[in-house]
A and B are shown apart, each in its own frame.
Chain A
Amino acid sequence: MIEAQPISVLLEIDPQSLSTTVRASMADLSIEGARLDAAFTPVPLSSGAVSSAGMAARTADESTIVVRATVALEDLQKLEASNQVVAIWSDPPIAPFPTDCTPAVSTGGASDVARALGADRLWASTGFRGEGMVIGIVDGGVDGGRFPVVGGWSPDASNPPGSSAVEWGEHGNMCAFDALIAAPEAAIHDYAIGRSVGIGPLLSNAFQSFHRALLQYRRDGTPHVLSNSWGLYQQSWDPFPPEHASNYTHNPRHPLTRKMLELLDAGMLVSFAAGNCGSACPDDRCVRDTGPGHSIWGANGHERAITVGAVNLRRDWVGYSSEGPASLHREKPDLCGYTHFSGYFPSDTGTSAANPVVAGGLALLRGLHPGLAQDAARTALRSTALTRSVGAWDSRLGAGIIDLFAAHGALP
């Protein structure tokens, strides 16, 4: 028979139960059934700091003392009955949360992403791989020679949607590739906001894309999902300060944000990359706008957007993934998708890659649940996300890491 290993616990003890001598030095403290760790300095704890059945009878000004011990599982009941022990608390092993700041290093391939999402199990169990679904990629352009582009809009009439003349270093191609990981049979709409003529990439190109996408959606119900891997790297990119009526970053009345709400209310699903201004290794363009509360701007962090942060395939947080709260809503990002994998490029990077991975997952879910709307999708993704602490939201991972298979199971 294999004996269970002793476990490490924190024992909360009642100092009144100890003799005066022991209480003074704690050196001779002993508790039957527990092996106390002499290297752990006893820590006084105000009774107000805890609430447990064992503490119910104690008055507010009484304190306890916490010590560390190892105990055999069979001695736990004896310890619980001891008049010295107020409570027994778990003392599990802990480890630092790893942070990935090496975007050039791939942590797996596209098939690994599909497996991590649970997309492969969804395909197997439903037989559905995104047929008939359309994902809009709002980006620098998607090459129709490489991807199934069936519509979209371009600000450059000489390079219509699907043109091979893509901007932003084939970033849009990367987004299309990553969106098709979960929904490989879906088609693409190319909203080529990077194909500007005579002007740099401005928010108005995204606004115009939203407008065109909504008109298209009203005509034929596509695109089902709109993927946005763009944003502002710093607040000062907005020519208007946060308190100004014309501001975008902090103003839910800006037309871009209002148009997004029109898309959602019409029935489209919309995801946004959180941004690349996380505190551990922010993009240089973020300058001083990094970390919690200073890295998710405008519609990217609207309450109703699905805001996507990034982890690698080892499920380590990526140190540049923007951290909440966002300028428009506290609990952002909503969840994380995968980045730093070999996809379109040797390593697809950024929250830019994580976002279309989630957008493709949304397309798959929408095909399996045809009435699925934004708020229900966001709730399902958040409530089923893989997390280290159930029910908790944190500023880096949001509700956790996307689990597409579980989200499908949570939907009616």
Chain B
Amino acid sequence: MHTAFVECELVGSESVADVSARLARLGIMPVPGHEPAMMRGSSGNAATVVFTVTVPDSIDDAQLSNIPGVVAVFGDPAIGRLDSD
């Protein structure tokens, strides 16, 4: 069961398809309609790619971060419109 949405930052030097395939083997799937977003590299770092994935309950944050090609994992919190009742 997919419960957690996270934004997964991947190394830019590997193809997105390769890393995606590696993630898919663990049941980590990209969110439909969301394409990988190239991120500007900070000074001295190569550019990275971020995409939004669903992660099965069986994989915790530490495991996700340790997958080869995964640079960082970020939260994908709920948001709301800022009108007033």
Interface residues, chain A, with chain B CB atoms under 8 Å away: 103, 139-140, 155-157, 168-169, 171, 174, 193-194, 197, 199-208, 211, 229-233, 237-240, 244-249, 251, 253-256, 258-259, 262, 273, 275-276, 283-285, 320, 349-353, 355
Alpha-carbon separation in the docked complex, A239 to B5 (Å) = 10
- B81 and A248 form a contact (CB under 8 A): no
> Which of B5, B34, B76, B84 makes the CB contact (< 8 A) with A276?
B84
B79-A206 in contact (CB<8A): yes
Complex-state Cα separation, A353 to B9, whole angstroms: 34
A211/B37 contact (C-beta < 8 A), A246-B6, A246-B73, A246-B75 known: yes
- Residue with the greatest number of chain A CB neighbours at <10 A, chosen from B4, B9, B37, B79: B79
Beta-carbon contact of A247 and B80 below 8 Å = no
Check if B75 sits within 8 Å of A240, measured CB to CB.
yes
**B40 lies within 8 A of A204 (CB):** no
Q: Is the CB of B72 within 8 A of A174?
A: no
* Interface status of B46 (Cβ within 8 A of chain A): no
Interface assignment of B85: CB less than 8 Å from any CB of chain A: yes
Q: List 24 A-B contacts (CB under 8 A).
A: A103-B84, A169-B83, A174-B83, A201-B80, A202-B52, A202-B77, A203-B78, A203-B79, A204-B76, A206-B79, A211-B35, A231-B80, A237-B78, A237-B79, A238-B75, A239-B4, A239-B77, A247-B74, A249-B77, A258-B40, A320-B84, A350-B82, A353-B83, A355-B82
Task: List, in ascending order, chain B residues with CB within 8 A of A259's CB.
Answer: 37, 39
Question: In the docked arrangement, what's the CA distance between A208 and B78, Å?
Answer: 14
Given A199-B31, A207-B37, A208-B34, the answer on whether A245 and B72 have CB atoms closer than 8 Å is: yes
Closest to B36 in A: A211
> Shortest CB–CB separation between residue B24 and chain A, in angstroms?
18
Query: Which single member of B33, B73, B81 contacts A155 (CB below 8 Å)?
Result: B33
- Complex interface: chain A residues within 8 A of B76 (CB): 202-204, 239
Q: Which residues of chain B have C-beta atoms less than 8 A from A273's C-beta?
A: 82
B46 nearest CB across to chain A (Å): 14
Q: Is the CB of A201 within 8 A of B79?
A: yes
A99 to B: closest C-beta gap in Å: 13
Bound-complex Cα distance A196 to B30 (A) = 14
**Residue of B52, B61, B75 ringed by the most chain A CB atoms within 10 A:** B75
> Could you tell me if B75 and A255 are in contact, using CB atoms closer than 8 angstroms?
no
Residues on B lying within 8 angstroms of A by beta carbon are 4-7, 9, 31-35, 37, 39-40, 50, 52, 61, 72-85
Inter-subunit contact B81/A255 (CB<8 Å): no
Picked from B34, B75, B83, the residue with its CB within 8 Å of the CB of A349 is B83
Q: CB < 8 Å: which of B35, B75, B79, B84 contacts A231?
A: B79
Cα A394 to Cα B50 with chains together (Å): 37
Decide if A352 touches B81 in the complex (CB within 8 Å).
Answer: yes
Given A208-B52, A239-B75, A246-B6: A168 in contact with B34 (beta carbons within 8 A):
no
Beta-carbon contact of B83 and A155 below 8 Å? no
Residues of A within 8 A of B78 (CB): 200-203, 232, 237
Contacts of A276 in B (CB 8 A): 82-84
* Docked CA distance A349–B7 (Å): 32
Residues of chain A within 8 A (CB-CB) of B39 are: 255, 258-259, 262
Quote the shortest CB–CB distance from B20 to chain A (angstroms): 16
B32 pairs with A352, CB closer than 8 A: no
Q: CB-CB < 8 A to A253: which residues of B?
A: 72
14 A-B pairs besides A239-B76, A259-B37 with CB distance below 8 A are: A103-B85, A155-B34, A202-B5, A208-B34, A232-B80, A239-B77, A246-B73, A247-B75, A248-B74, A255-B7, A273-B82, A276-B84, A349-B84, A352-B82
